[in-house]
Amino acid sequence: MQVIPHITDEIKSAIKRVGADVDVVIVEIGGTVGDIESQPFLEAIRQMRNEAGKENTLFVHLTLVPYIETSHELKSKPTQHSVRELLAIGIQPDIVLCRTDRFLPKDIRAKISLFCNVPEAAVITAKDVKSIYEVPLVLSQEGLDEIVLKCLNLTSRPRDLTAWLELVDKIHHPLDEVTVAIVGKYVEYEDAYKSLHEALVHGGLANRARVNIRWIESECLLDDNYADRLSPYDAVLVPGGFGKRGIDGMIRAIRWARENNVPYFGICLGMQCAVIEYARNVCSLDADSSEFNPATSHRVIYKLRELLGVEDMGGTMRLGAYPCNLEPDSLAFRIYGQREISERHRHRYEFNREYEETLTSYGMKICGNSPDRNFVEIVELPEHPWFLGCQFHPEFKSKPLSPHPLFTSFIAAAYAYKQQHAPKNTTADCRLRVAD
């Protein structure tokens, strides 16, 4: 096998498959120009321009224009050298996006235009902003959208950013705020929960509320003071994850939320831990997941390939979008407002339906099922103000202008809880950090 043509042809084929039924495909190639990892991808898009034609392709290059504080000047040399590297492999950028902390003055734009062989209008300031959701407004102000349409010979109706302006206004001028504790095992690497973080922000925007997130390492909840660490918060969320580490701390957080009527949202592993906690502390079973304890006597959660009647799954992970039917007399149905939904999955372990009768007899409600009823998708506690666990990842489908309904409802419940309780001291001594 050779890089050219075998690998580059596969890259081009993947791009073409994505673009089969759309007008524009956006392809991002990460890394730094010159890195060996990106070379096959850059070569592939160079070839694609020759095949598709210049009028059907557009190269946008993101570069850094640093400001040197000691000399009080912007430096365009990194941009010039980066573009020179691209030119050396046969790629001429059509637009240069200049990442910087201030708007570029005309003389710097003119210099970049001259040495990088792009029109001055195509030298765009990608200025640092307080919120990532301000970026489209800044780029629109710079005229990036009009240049893209012109380069690709596309027509469009006049720009209307009214909804986006309202969104940014909600971000900067919330009417109130709530504080959500995320109890997980990867909190030292917040990017692991990036989609979740943004989905919570979206849910807050729908309620005109700022969402303050406190990241709690689940292993910090194993001492006798765990309740004091959780009590300052308006809601608890346990996200997805793999492996046994930190599970006992998550289960403690879930029990605390359940017994104190604090809104609780469990996603993937968070739902599985909620089932385990309920089986142990309400149903009095010595329950566990076969992921954490293969020898457990009550495996209320077990591996996908062990499910009765499920064969030839093509691997051990349920991955991608799957349909789900909701029970009409459930919190989930009231949130979604429809019986049939579709959500994205990424997990190996499932609810064991052999324990369905036991758990439901003690009050847990299974309100979301796959159409063939092999898979449990959503559980909830009807006697609790807001307690819901889902096997899927709703954060993957949330958008700033279209927040996922589960997150919208969860933040509304957190705000209702806050209103019902006196202000609390939100200081905790367990490796917590605020996610702005």
DSSP secondary structure letter of residue 399: B
User: Tokens for 31?
Assistant: 């890394």
The single residue of 343, 350, 380, 395 carrying the catalytic annotation is 395
The single residue of 268, 273, 367, 430 carrying the catalytic annotation is 268
Would you call 350 helix, strand, or coil by DSSP? strand
Per DSSP bridges, beta strands 60-64 and 340-347 are unpaired
- Residues 261 and 206: beta-carbon distance below 8 Å: no
Beta strands in 31-174 (DSSP E): 60-64, 67-68, 73-74, 95-100, 123-127
Distances (CA, A) of 79 to 75, 101, 431: 8, 15, 39
**Chain center to CA of 285:** 35
Catalytic status, residue 273: no
User: Tokens for 224?
Assistant: 């006798």
The single residue of 202, 345, 393, 404 carrying the catalytic annotation is 393
Catalytic status, residue 356: no
Neighbours of 303 (CB within 10 A): 15
User: Tokens for 4?
Assistant: 């050219």
Q: Position of tokens 């321009």?
A: 49
Q: Which residues are catalytic?
A: 268, 393, 395
